[in-house]
């Protein structure tokens, strides 16, 4: 009971409860969207940061406010810097990469944010913590809707297996079709098979995702001399 009383006196309990609430809101949003780091991870990171700040402040009081050694060793600012630096490994673990597709950057950023949030709460800046949490939730929800409405730039490769004697005509035809669809050709690579009189053409293109349709591939496949078409990410 004495420990609980001391915790309440130093505003430790309100800080812990606020950490649970605010980090829980952000963690719930990540959990709802099926991200790898969800409710528990965000709450634990924020709570851990808050507790370390509370412990440092409590230790300074216990060792004496006039003790220069206590202030040097247990400086909350140094502890906060260590928290932000050390939380990086959790953020890195949330990032997944497959080819040029990267997932988890936003979750890594929210983990970093809740660590900072715990520091802010631990220092007693409750208004700042609440306002910043509201802003982050608005960013996560509002800008997510906006991002899905913005056509993204995509880099693709269109590989064609063609008859060697039709290579130039097919290349010209492909360029025309791509231009009609508003797709920019960045480079064309050639590969010739002298024994079979076949050729491989690889168009490296840049486009907006809404312009990349099945009809485009069908038009290219319909060109005379085209034997096989394959597409993929650049």
- Over residues 141-162, the pLDDT tens digits come to 887 777 777 767 778 888 888 8
Domain boundaries, given as residue ranges, for the chain: 7-149, 153-233
DSSP 30-65: HHHTT-SS-HHHHHHHHHHHHHHHHHHHHHHHHH-T
pLDDT at 109 over 80: yes
CATH of 153-233 given 3.40.50.300, 3.40.50.1100, 3.30.70.260, 3.40.50.880: 3.30.70.260
Q: Return the SS3 of 104.
A: coil
Q: 116 with 135: CB under 8 angstroms?
A: no
pLDDT at 73: 56
Q: Provide the 8-state DSSP code for 95.
A: -
Range scoring the smallest mean pLDDT among 32-36, 87-91, 124-128: 87-91
C-beta atoms surrounding 78 within 10 Å: 12
In this prediction, residues 206-223 reach a mean pLDDT of 75
Q: Provide the 8-state DSSP code for 196.
A: T
């Amino acid at each position: 009971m004495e420990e609980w009383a001391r915790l309440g006196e130093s505003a430790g309990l309100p800080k812990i409860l606020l950490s649970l609430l605010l980090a829980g809101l952000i963690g719930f949003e990540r959990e709802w969207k099926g991200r790898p780091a969800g409710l528990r991870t965000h709450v634990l990171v924020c709570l851990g940061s808050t507790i370390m700040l509370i412990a440092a402040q409590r230790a300074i009081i216990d060792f004496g406010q006039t003790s220069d050694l206590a202030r040097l060793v247990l400086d909350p600012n140094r502890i906060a810097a260590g928290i932000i630096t050390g939380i990086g490994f959790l953020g890195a673990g949330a990032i997944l990469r497959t080819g040029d597709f990267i997932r988890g950057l936003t979750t890594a950023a929210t983990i970093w944010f809740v660590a900072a949030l715990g520091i802010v709460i631990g220092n007693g800046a409750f208004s700042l913590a609440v306002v910043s949490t509201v802003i982050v939730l608005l960013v996560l929800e509002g800008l997510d809707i906006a991002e899905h409405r913005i056509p993204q730039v995509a880099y693709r490769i269109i590989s064609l297996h063609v008859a060697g004697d039709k290579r130039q005509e097919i290349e010209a035809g492909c360029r025309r079709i791509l231009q009609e669809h508003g797709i920019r050709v960045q480079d064309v690579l050639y590969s010739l098979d002298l024994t079979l009189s076949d050729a491989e053409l690889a168009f490296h293109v840049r486009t907006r995702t809404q312009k990349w349709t099945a009809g485009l591939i069908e038009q290219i496949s319909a060109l005379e001399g085209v034997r096989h078409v394959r597409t993929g990410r650049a």
